[in-house]
Chains A and B, each alone.
Chain A
């Protein structure tokens, strides 16, 4: 087939429509949040003392970390799935969530006597944390990988990893409402491990499924 002939075919298909990528990302993220919410409610649900916990700084700080992570990952993944878009600024913003966690860890180390650091870090249910964040996040991750196929990421593995971070931030936001370990020491350790699992799965998914 000559290029001239191909152009005729593409031109004849000019009227076919697809949802603009930006809108599609919003729709997909909303759908992913619904899936995460459903899995969360039917498995572990919120902790029983949530109304009291909401008045504590430590409990609320968890949501700041996870929502900032999800928000920055959302901006970056949108740029990564658009060919030619600059990603530098969005990538730099990805440092925000880790920096906030770092600040909280330092404050916690000052606020809590050294003898308690170990118990705070180990917490009471780290296995649940490492199991349920990936479990809540796996559905959203599948949706985000599918969205990467809908987009056109020129770096599929990196984009897949960021999809994992986005799914991780979303899942951790829900999980934080269940978890009774509010210490930044616990969050910095076990949430990070759980989110890294999703990130690695995302990178693998990007490598295997994100072709266009």
Chain B
């Protein structure tokens, strides 16, 4: 199972970095499932919402995807980021956590769905400058395309892309800092 995941995710991420948005969405969905399973298995005593770890990991993967070398395996890269973000989440909540290094391999492919609750990401989103916040919300929560968002706010598509990129980078940075 892991071997198949590895080959498939590696192919998708390569295509995504080359500019294929559909491959990127596919990559992110599959990665979210893997990381969700990982976080749920690691968080046994509560205190941290696994879905927060999933979101922080996806953000980190996004802003750090230039650190992946396309001739290196992708799963160790994904899990190293997920583990770092998980420890970070525990640290922020003032808890200690011990994570076994060798547990990467045992991953279950069963579809795990997200639980709904108040997300950390919302608090961070609220702290963004208004222009970035409204663009990020339009594209994510409202599900608008870049073109629709540009029309809604009466700005160029380039301006939407810049605001979106800066907004996401700022959210990722804030998670790292707190």
Contacts and interface: CB of A to CB of B under 8 A. Distances in A.
B85 to A, nearest CB: 10
A87 B141 CA distance: 40
A145 to B, nearest CB: 14
Interface string A5-35: 1111111111110111110100000000000
Contacts of B58: 3, 6-7, 10
A151 B139 CA distance: 27
Interface string B49-81: 001001100111011111111001101111111
Interface stretch (A78-86, A119-127, A132-140): A78-86
A84 B116 CA distance: 30
Q: Majority SS of interface residues in chain B?
A: helix
B21 A3 contact: no
A83 B81 contact: yes
A22 B58 CA distance: 22
The 4 A-B pairs of least Cβ separation, nearest first, read A84-B76, A83-B80, A84-B80, A9-B140
B143 interface: yes
A11 B67 CA distance: 18
A15 B22 CA distance: 12
Give chain A's interface secondary structure class. loop
A3 B164 contact: no
24 contacts: A1-B122, A3-B58, A3-B114, A6-B59, A8-B140, A8-B143, A9-B136, A9-B168, A12-B164, A14-B24, A15-B19, A20-B66, A21-B69, A82-B77, A83-B67, A83-B76, A84-B78, A84-B81, A85-B77, A154-B80, A212-B60, A212-B63, A212-B64, A212-B173
Contacts of A212: 60, 63-64, 172-173, 176
A154 B139 contact: no
B139 A9 contact: yes
B165 A10 contact: no
